[in-house]
Amino acid sequence: MDFIKIDKEKWQRKKVFELYSKDILCTYSMTINLDITGLKNKIEIKQLKFFPVILYGLSKFVNKYKEFRMDLNEDGELGYYDKINPIFTVFEEAQEQFYQVWTKYDDDFEVFYQNYLLDMKNYQQQEIKSSKLLLEKNVFNVSCVLWVSFTGFNLNLAKGYDYYLPIFTIGKYFEQGEKILLPLAIQVHHGVCDGFHLSRFINDLQEWLDKTDEI
């Protein structure tokens, strides 16, 4: 994992970044319904697990665009990771408690899928449940609300104005006509990610869901 520092004096986004991280502190969220009809059919035919496929899709486009890999280093300097991994919540039903597991991202879907399966196997074999030890900071958060679909979702972070990585929340998918839709809420920092960047991410993700031959 490499952290590439940004030279703010040469950065074309300097004024926008300072506006939304100093003058007008601003994060924002967007909730959408992804059409997963075709993807779900492929998953069922190939007998794959649903969640790691969606997790791979999110990771693929987070790693494609540096706006979604922005962070501060230990010295408070802004930059971005060359590669970033998803960290996600796992619900332990007996305890009614969530734990966190992260999986190493790989561009190759099959490698990523096997990484996920191994991480979950290791987690499930733990006698006493706990989160997977976080070795590096290059992770972005994905959580699930498995029990309900939602039309809006917003997080309130005490130190959110200093948090530049995206946060994804997935809801329960549902049928609407002949389509299967998946609620997805995305929270970002306006200092590093405008509506253009977020829209591009969503459109690319939807196109991948519609047409991917990687799985």
Any idea which residues carry the catalytic annotation?
Answer: 190
Strands 97-102 and 174-176: unpaired
Tokens read off for 119? 């991480």
Contact by Cβ (8 Å): 11, 182: no
How far is Cα 97 from Cα 114, in angstroms, rounded to an integer?
A: 25
Tokens at residue 47, please?
């007998």
Helix (H, G, I), strand (E, B) or coil at 191: coil
What CA–CA distances, in Å, run from 124 to 78, 130, 168? Answer: 37, 10, 24
